Amino acid sequence: MPSDFRLDNYLARIGYDGMVQPDLATLTAIHAAHVDAIPFETFDPLLRRPVKLDLASLQDKLVDSRRGGYCHEQNVLFKAALDAIGFKVTALGGRVRWRSSPDDPLGPREHTLLKVDLPEGPWLADVGFGACVLDAPLRLDSDAERHTAIGTYRLSETDGLFRLGVKRPAGWRTMYAFNLEPLIQSDIELANWFTSTSPLVPFTTRLVMERVSPDKRYKLIDRRFAIETRDGEVAVEQSIGSPDELHKVLEDIFNVTSPVPVEEIFVRIGG
């Protein structure tokens, strides 16, 4: 583990002051604290800014500043924290299926997720899937439904390929597919370059933000703001009508500062 990771600063950023040891209770607690404190956000891909994955840059942006990040940033940072605590963690690559039909071919491994090996067995940890951020780690075995504070998830496995599904108001929806082949840093860097630059990926043309509190999911997609409760039920939905309204949502809900004037963001997400 690189010695320049500042665990105390990270724990302060996520507001966690409990016991820190490599066990399921700690993993579950800091997973929940992370997704509540550090929102998923895609300002940098939208603004065509480089997304850096070195630990110094990640800590400067996600820990020391009022910013969030997207999947590769979130899970590389989370892995560094888990490594520092003493967990055995492996990065894996996910093939996103959120907008795919069941018959569509598999796409590239454009998402980063984590496998955490505990005495109880392997667990899936993922603080960065921006369409439906997990609020808790999930035991990595197949078939059984997993109930978290605000969601219901299901893992299936066929010939070594896992698929993670989530229950939504319209029924089950597949989040991504993955196997247990480890990713190395260069794999993550390649996926990060693709997801932050390709016009085929929505993050380069849309603002996507999400924060998960203990009982609510807050989502912003361009100018559409929504609050969801259990299993994606929409409790509040509204259109952001001005830069001032956007600024208020960023401040009050997501606790982030835009890297450019909010007026510029508002114009970019007006399509």
Active site amino acids: 71, 111, 126
Helix (H/G/I), strand (E/B), else coil: 177 = strand
- What's the CA angle centered on 224, arms 271 and 134, to 5 degrees? 120
Contact criterion met (CB below 8 Å) for 69 and 55:
no
Question: Which residues, in sequence order, are CB contacts of 210 under 8 Å at separation 6+?
Answer: 39, 40, 130, 131, 133, 217, 218, 219, 220
User: What phi and psi values does residue 200 have, to the nearest 5 degrees?
Assistant: -80, -10
The 8 Å CB, 24+ separation contacts for 202-206 are: 203/42, 203/45, 203/46, 203/70, 203/130, 204/45, 204/46, 204/48, 205/46, 205/271, 206/42, 206/46, 206/269
Q: Tokens 């480089």 label which residue?
A: 50
Token pair for residue 119? 């005495």
User: What phi and psi values does residue 264 have, to the nearest 5 degrees?
Assistant: -65, -40
